[in-house]
Amino acid sequence: MYLGRVIGNVVSTRKDEHLSGVKLLIVRHLTVDDAGKAFRDDSKTVVAVDTVGAGAGDTVLLVVGSSATKNIEGFQKAATDVTIVGIVDEAELQD
């Protein structure tokens, strides 16, 4: 799993039928700064299927790979690689 920040959305009127009605969001991965004190935006940006109602600016929990949607109700047949499975209320780094 990864942490990311929603930075935009994707509108696609023609897509796989299993993605019909699914919200697609642009998410930038988060990483820890060099001092290990805070999160910062990484250079990696992905398009993710939103299963939790995330929006712009939200910090989200991402699942990547073949397990991205196989256990999520209604998404088992969707061709996805990255899925948003949680909206993060707080993420704290320990010293």
Mean pLDDT of the chain: 89
Residue 2 has pLDDT above 90, yes or no: yes
The pLDDT of residue 9: 96
Strand locations in the chain (E): 2-10, 23-32, 39-50, 59-64, 82-87
The pLDDT of residue 19: 84
Average pLDDT over residues 71-77: 71
Q: Quick one: which of 82, 78, 83, 80 has its CA closest to 17?
A: 78
The pLDDT of residue 90: 95
In order of start, what are the domains of the chain with their CATH numbers? Answer: 2-87 (2.40.50.220)
pLDDT one-digit tens code per residue, 7-50: 999 999 888 888 888 899 999 999 999 888 899 999 999 999 99
What residue has token string 């250079």?
Answer: 43
The pLDDT of residue 81: 86
The pLDDT of residue 3: 97
What residue has token string 């935006």?
Answer: 41
